[in-house]
């Protein structure tokens, strides 16, 4: 059909297919800022203005816009003349991965056009169709408010640059909220994500997926699919190498079992791979998948992970070539245990022993951009993989092995990516996409749709956690035991290390002379567990800090005082770290900096905690809310985390000096949108005495940058940052030698700052002159150094939070009305980006606590595999979130930095649980807290009241003395 319409003021005539959606037409016409995120109108990444109104272009049929006017992000402002909203979004640090930001700015533009002075609520409503997973909405709302009400450039004076350590003059660049290195293009639709690269002759891949949770493939007939015109390859298990491997992007040898092959004779969950197709168009690829005829021998599935190890339970991994599974016949992937001190003696000596069981559900991180890769062969026939990954170097190694291609013939490039949160620490698209390119010799794109992202990428491991704690009458913890059962789904990726971290990240927080941890990880015929922001710790902390709260209330102690009294202190040794490493023994860990007490002091002040506590009468729950049926409560929680994997994580950086005094910084570190390119540039700039603009960052290209394990384990600032500092110091020292020659003085005592080298005598030479002399002077050389960094330390960031909820006691609906979170992150390299990490993590945690849940029918099929029915927090659901940076000076970190990205997610679910308890007296131990569960909890209280079972402390079914 011919379509004539207006795009960004330009008349366009284009041929479209009847089923083509506007999103695809606009991208085809070059509007690459229109992003594909969910294709159900739920996420808003494809928002455009249709005759001035914001609409999700993925649900508009292209032919429907005949004669109408469409405005995309590109029509709102371009890098040469950005719209004030674009400048404000960038300036406020609202843009992390920015995949969702293009659409959000379009919505904000429409909002301000219709209502130049919107209220906060109107702003929230105005961007409610745009889901952000990285930063949340705090900074976006600030940015919109900055532009609202005036036709002027935003007032960013108070934002950029912004200094946090007011009295700290040590640093010129570090500690300032500089704008992201990507610049204004990041919010103008110009940043290039995987789908934005043009490839001649590109084929579209699609995976045929299993309709059964557990089945053997008896036969596959792909002849009809192969015969379809436009289909270039159909691969089944008969066509590809069978190489058992782990899809987990971890150091080699991976601590995860080798239980996956590219395409197998057996399927182990609904959505497992059956076959792969490459065709001229996505529609043809889909038709081809439908034409593949598969005969299955359907097997009994394991859907209840508590039954996975039962006698007679079906064996999920009965193949004979898998390795690294502890006991495949019992579906037991891994077992971990660790003990410090004598736990039984501790329980025996305790005045009271508490034991509670907690359950956590399946969730998926839902990055705005689902997994996507494009594979192609370069002019030399080498395999080039452009992919949205957190782990380019692990991808190279795994794809090389699985496809039996030499590693030197594989190049992996990570462009801008639309969020990762751990799910992209995994090879779930690149291997089979590469196989299709090898089969067709053509570029092939494989992108997961939102349903596949939910079902067939990776999830947060569900667990059942049993905590037992013995305390003395004065509240001193004497012994603690955590016993975990972990469901890794159909494959064991991260199945050992995630639950290890459930213990190792949570158990050290409160001192105890005796600690025992054990975990069994089992297979089920359900989606696969993996890395997910927090990596086991959010599960552990939900249990630990709910349990801690229960104990404090049972003892009649203030929950904050009880926690502070038992919390780990500066100078303490983490007792569990040496016993629980990354699937092996760990390393000694001394706490050198601990800002937890200050975190709590700031949070409690901000959240009016003391006033709230003072008003509570003993044995009474909740305060009155806005409506007669609502009860208000405040809950608190603490957490800690790590900074990288000690002894394992290695990051490297290369810096080369250019003759104008600029530098190329090449890092393997992987910016998922977090801003690591920016903060690494700040660190290099600090050492080299230049402004960050003088640092040209290039990251994550296996041909061109040095190695880095990738972006996971909260490691980039700490580990990769350390490498940048080392490389920058080497470059600086070498330049000082050249400067010394120019100045005629010895290199001793020369300093590099403010773009020049200064001698103790006061004489100085501009850095460009030094750099030019190095390149063109008498002693010519390319000043360039590479450094790598490994650390045996793993300093923990600390977190404290207070959550305020309003519970509708008639429906059980919980509204979070306020959330305050303080993080001791060491020294904040870029405060605005650090705050964005906290605000985004809190939002993700709130979804974990209240709304997000993958639900399955009796056959193991996910029933809410879309973003309409799987609810993540939108701008109207999000409470005001206030992030507080508490700075300590970590001696082992670059410029005193520790990590920030994961620790905030740990505090959220327990804070919500504790707030619901404070509001209602109902103690919920089963995530998420749906209205139905909350109401049941409240109803159980009333029932207990009626039978006189309620004890004086308000703790039910847990306390045992």
Is 293 an interacting residue with respect to another protein (CB under 8 A)?
Answer: no
Which of 58, 405, 759, 881 is close enough to bind another protein by CB under 8 A? 58
SS (H, E, C) 714-757: CCHHHHHHHHHHHHHHHHHHHHHHHHHHHHCCCCCCCEEECCEE
Least CB distance to another protein at residue 433 (A): 19
Q: Stretches 257-265, 369-377, 638-646, 848-856: which one binds another protein (CB under 8 A)?
A: 848-856
For another protein, give the closer residue by CB, 21 or 842: 21
For another protein, give the closer residue by CB, 194 or 875: 875
Give the distance from CA 168 to its chain's centroid.
31
Which of 8, 27, 34, 54 is close enough to bind another protein by CB under 8 A? 54
Least CB distance to another protein at residue 857 (A): 8
Residues 495, 255 contacting (CB under 8 angstroms): no
Structure tokens at 230: 């436009």
Q: Which is it for strands 10-15 and 2-7: parallel, antiparallel or unpaired?
A: antiparallel
For another protein, give the closer residue by CB, 153 or 930: 930
Helices (H), 847-875: none
Task: Report the SS3 class of residue 76.
Answer: helix
Tokens 């609906």, located at residue: 813
Is 261 an interacting residue with respect to another protein (CB under 8 A)?
Answer: no
On the 0-12 / 13-18 / 19+ scale of CB atoms within 10 A, 74 is buried
Least CB distance to another protein at residue 214 (A): 21
Least CB distance to another protein at residue 110 (A): 9
Is 866 an interacting residue with respect to another protein (CB under 8 A)?
Answer: yes
- Which of 437, 46, 39, 445 shows the shortest CA–CA distance to 282? 445
Q: How far apart are CA 122 and CA 548, in angstroms?
A: 39
Least CB distance to another protein at residue 676 (A): 31
Least CB distance to another protein at residue 901 (A): 24
Q: How far apart are CA 86 and CA 296, in angstroms?
A: 53
Q: How far apart are CA 43 and CA 868, in angstroms?
A: 9
Is 701 an interacting residue with respect to another protein (CB under 8 A)?
Answer: no
115-174: which residues touch another protein (CB under 8 A)? 125-126, 128-130
Residues 955, 555 contacting (CB under 8 angstroms): no
Is 287 an interacting residue with respect to another protein (CB under 8 A)?
Answer: yes
Q: Which is it for strands 663-667 and 695-699: parallel, antiparallel or unpaired?
A: parallel
Which of 69, 930, 940, 951 is close enough to bind another protein by CB under 8 A? 930
Q: Stretches 63-71, 166-174, 378-386, 830-838: which one binds another protein (CB under 8 A)?
A: 63-71
Give the distance from CA 281 to its chain's centroid.
32
Is 811 an interacting residue with respect to another protein (CB under 8 A)?
Answer: yes
Least CB distance to another protein at residue 67 (A): 9
Which of 230, 282, 341, 747 is close enough to bind another protein by CB under 8 A? 282
Q: How far apart are CA 597 and CA 249, in angstroms?
A: 36
Element (H, E) at 517: strand 515-523
9-48: which residues touch another protein (CB under 8 A)? 17-19, 21, 39-42, 44, 47
Q: How many angstroms separate the Cα of 123 from the Cα of each of 341, 556, 881?
A: 55, 43, 15
On the 0-12 / 13-18 / 19+ scale of CB atoms within 10 A, 401 is middle
Overall size of the chain counted in residues: 961
For another protein, give the closer residue by CB, 54 or 84: 54
Residues 883, 823 contacting (CB under 8 angstroms): yes
Which of 4, 15, 30, 64 is close enough to bind another protein by CB under 8 A? 64
Is 935 an interacting residue with respect to another protein (CB under 8 A)?
Answer: yes
Structure tokens at 845: 């945690």
Number of residues binding to another protein, judged by CB under 8 A = 57
Spatial CB neighbours of 69, under 8 Å, sequence gap ≥ 6: 5, 6, 49, 50, 51, 52
Which of 871, 944, 951, 953 is close enough to bind another protein by CB under 8 A? 871
Spatial CB neighbours of 456, under 8 Å, sequence gap ≥ 6: 207, 209, 271, 272, 273, 428, 448, 527
Is 869 an interacting residue with respect to another protein (CB under 8 A)?
Answer: yes
For another protein, give the closer residue by CB, 228 or 377: 228
Least CB distance to another protein at residue 455 (A): 14
Q: How far apart are CA 198 and CA 374, in angstroms?
A: 10
Phi, psi of 765 (to 5 degrees): -135, 135
Is 324 an interacting residue with respect to another protein (CB under 8 A)?
Answer: no
The alpha carbon torsion through 304, 306, 309, 313 (nearest 10 deg) reads -30
Which of 286, 382, 466, 734 is close enough to bind another protein by CB under 8 A? 286
Least CB distance to another protein at residue 908 (A): 14
- Which of 487, 165, 486, 151 shows the shortest CA–CA distance to 302? 487
Is 622 an interacting residue with respect to another protein (CB under 8 A)?
Answer: no
Q: If you compute the radius of gyration of the chain from its CA atoms, what whole number of angstroms results?
A: 28
Q: Stretches 89-97, 359-367, 389-397, 810-818: which one binds another protein (CB under 8 A)?
A: 810-818
Least CB distance to another protein at residue 874 (A): 5
Least CB distance to another protein at residue 849 (A): 10
872-891: which residues touch another protein (CB under 8 A)? 873-874, 876-877
For another protein, give the closer residue by CB, 24 or 182: 24
Least CB distance to another protein at residue 227 (A): 18
Phi, psi of 135 (to 5 degrees): -100, -20
For another protein, give the closer residue by CB, 585 or 869: 869
First-last CA distance in the chain: 76
Q: Stretches 237-245, 282-290, 380-388, 756-764: which one binds another protein (CB under 8 A)?
A: 282-290
Is 50 an interacting residue with respect to another protein (CB under 8 A)?
Answer: yes
Q: Stretches 58-66, 244-252, 487-495, 612-620: which one binds another protein (CB under 8 A)?
A: 58-66
- Which of 46, 31, 26, 21 shows the shortest CA–CA distance to 99? 46
Q: Stretches 56-64, 174-182, 215-223, 767-775: which one binds another protein (CB under 8 A)?
A: 56-64
Q: Stretches 162-170, 329-337, 372-380, 862-870: which one binds another protein (CB under 8 A)?
A: 862-870
Element (H, E) at 209: strand 203-209
Residues 536, 499 contacting (CB under 8 angstroms): yes
Q: Stretches 405-413, 646-654, 707-715, 870-878: which one binds another protein (CB under 8 A)?
A: 870-878
Structure tokens at 610: 């003391």
The site for another protein (CB under 8 A) is made up of: 1, 17-19, 21, 39-42, 44, 47, 50, 53-56, 58-61, 63-64, 66, 107, 125-126, 128-130, 282-283, 286-287, 290, 810-811, 813, 815, 850-851, 855, 857, 863-864, 866, 868-869, 871, 873-874, 876-877, 928, 930-932, 935
């Amino acid at each position: 059909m011919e379509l004539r319409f207006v795009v960004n003021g330009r008349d366009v005539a284009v041929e479209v297919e009847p089923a083509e959606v506007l999103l695809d037409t606009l991208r085809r016409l070059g509007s690459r800022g229109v992003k594909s995120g969910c294709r159900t109108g739920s996420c808003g990444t494809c928002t455009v203005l249709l005759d001035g109104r914001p609409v999700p272009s993925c649900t508009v049929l292209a032919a429907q816009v005949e004669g109408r006017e469409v405005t995309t992000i590109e029509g709102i402002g371009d890098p040469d003349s950005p719209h004030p909203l674009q400048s404000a979004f960038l300036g406020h640090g609202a843009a992390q991965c920015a995949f969702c930001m293009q659409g959000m700015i379009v919505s904000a533009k429409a909002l301000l056009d219709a209502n130049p002075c919107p209220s906060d609520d109107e702003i929230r409503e105005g961007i409610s169709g745009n889901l952000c997973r990285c930063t949340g909405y705090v900074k976006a709302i600030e940015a919109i408010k900055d532009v609202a009400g005036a036709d002027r450039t935003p007032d960013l004076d108070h934002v950029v640059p912004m200094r946090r350590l007011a009295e700290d003059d040590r640093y010129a660049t570090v500690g300032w909220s500089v704008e992201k290195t990507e610049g204004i293009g990041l919010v103008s639709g110009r940043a290039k994500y995987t789908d934005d690269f043009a490839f001649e002759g590109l084929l579209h891949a699609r995976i045929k997926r299993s309709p059964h949770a557990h089945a053997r493939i008896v036969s596959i007939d792909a002849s009809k699919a192969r015969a379809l015109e436009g289909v270039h390859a159909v691969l089944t298990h008969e066509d590809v190498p069978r190489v058992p491997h782990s899809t987990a992007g971890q150091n080699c040898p991976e601590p995860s079992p080798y239980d996956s092959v590219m395409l197998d004779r057996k399927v182990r969950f609904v959505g497992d791979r059956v076959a792969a197709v490459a065709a001229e168009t996505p529609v043809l690829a889909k038709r081809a998948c439908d034409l593949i005829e598969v005969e299955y021998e359907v097997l009994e599935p394991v859907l209840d992970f508590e039954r996975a190890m039962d006698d007679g339970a079906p064996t999920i991994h009965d193949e004979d070539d898998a390795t690294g599974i502890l006991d495949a016949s019992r579906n037991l992937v891994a077992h971990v245990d660790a003990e410090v001190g004598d736990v039984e003696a501790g329980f025996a000596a305790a005045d009271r022993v508490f034991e509670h069981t907690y359950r956590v559900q399946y969730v998926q991180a839902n990055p705005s951009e689902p997994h996507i890769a494009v594979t192609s062969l370069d002019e030399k026939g080498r395999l080039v993989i452009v992919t949205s990954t957190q782990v380019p170097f692990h991808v190279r190694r795994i794809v090389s092995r699985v496809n039996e291609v030499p590693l030197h013939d594989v190049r992996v490039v990570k462009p801008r990516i639309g969020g990762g949160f751990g799910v992209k620490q995994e090879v779930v698209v690149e291997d089979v996409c590469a196989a299709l390119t090898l089969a067709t010799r053509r570029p092939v794109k494989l992108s997961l749709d939102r349903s596949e992202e939910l079902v067939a990428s990776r999830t947060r491991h569900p667990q059942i956690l049993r905590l037992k704690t013995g305390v003395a009458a004065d509240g001193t913890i004497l012994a603690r035991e955590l016993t975990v059962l972990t469901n890794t789904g159909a494959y064991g990726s991260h199945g050992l290390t995630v639950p290890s971290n459930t213990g190792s990240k949570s158990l050290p927080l409160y001192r105890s002379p005796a600690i025992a941890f054990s975990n069994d990880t089992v297979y089920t015929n359900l989606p696969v567990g993996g890395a997910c922001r927090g990596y086991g710790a959010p599960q552990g902390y939900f249990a630990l800090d709910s349990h801690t709260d229960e104990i404090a209330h049972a003892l009649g102690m203030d929950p904050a005082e009880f926690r502070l009294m038992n919390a780990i202190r500066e100078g303490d040794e983490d007792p569990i770290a040496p016993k629980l490493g990354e699937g092996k023994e760990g390393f000694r860990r001394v706490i050198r900096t601990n800002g937890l007490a200050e975190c709590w002091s700031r949070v409690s002040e901000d959240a009016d905690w003391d006033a709230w506590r003072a008003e509570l009468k003993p044995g009474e729950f909740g305060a009155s809310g806005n409506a007669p049926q609502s009860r208000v409560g405040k809950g608190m929680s603490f957490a800690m985390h790590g900074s990288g994997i000690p002894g394992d994580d290695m990051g490297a950086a290369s810096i080369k000096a250019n003759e104008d005094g600029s530098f190329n910084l090449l890092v393997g570190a992987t910016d998922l949108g977090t801003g690591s390119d920016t903060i690494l540039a700040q660190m290099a700039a600090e050492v080299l005495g230049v402004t960050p603009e003088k640092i040209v960052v290039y990251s994550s290209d296996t041909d061109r940058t040095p190695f880095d394990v990738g972006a996971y384990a909260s490691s980039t600032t700490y580990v990769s940052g350390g490498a940048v500092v080392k490389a920058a110091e080497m470059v600086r020292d070498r330049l000082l030698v050249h400067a010394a020659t120019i100045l005629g003085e010895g290199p001793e005592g020369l300093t590099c700052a403010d773009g020049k080298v200064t001698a103790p005598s006061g004489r100085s030479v501009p850095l460009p002159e030094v750099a030019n002399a190095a390149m063109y002077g008498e002693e010519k050389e390319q000043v360039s150094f590479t450094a790598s960094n490994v650390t045996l330390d793993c300093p923990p960031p600390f977190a404290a939070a207070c959550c305020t909820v309003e519970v509708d006691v008639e429906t059980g609906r919980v509204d979070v009305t306020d959330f305050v979170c303080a993080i001791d992150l060491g020294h904040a390299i870029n405060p605005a980006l650090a705050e964005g990490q906290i605000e985004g993590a809190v939002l993700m945690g709130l979804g974990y606590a209240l709304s997000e849940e993958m639900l399955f029918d009796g056959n193991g099929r996910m029933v809410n595999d879309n973003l309409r029915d799987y609810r993540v927090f939108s701008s109207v659901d999000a409470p005001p979130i206030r992030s507080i940076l508490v700075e300590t000076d970590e001696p082992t970190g670059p410029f005193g930095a520790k990590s920030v990205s994961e620790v905030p997610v740990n505090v959220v679910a327990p804070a919500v649980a504790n707030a619901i308890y404070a509001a209602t007296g109902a103690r919920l131990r089963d995530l998420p807290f749906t209205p139905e569960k909350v109401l049941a909890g409240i109803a159980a209280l009333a029932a207990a009241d009626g039978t006189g079972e309620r004890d004086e402390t308000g703790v039910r079914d847990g306390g045992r003395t």
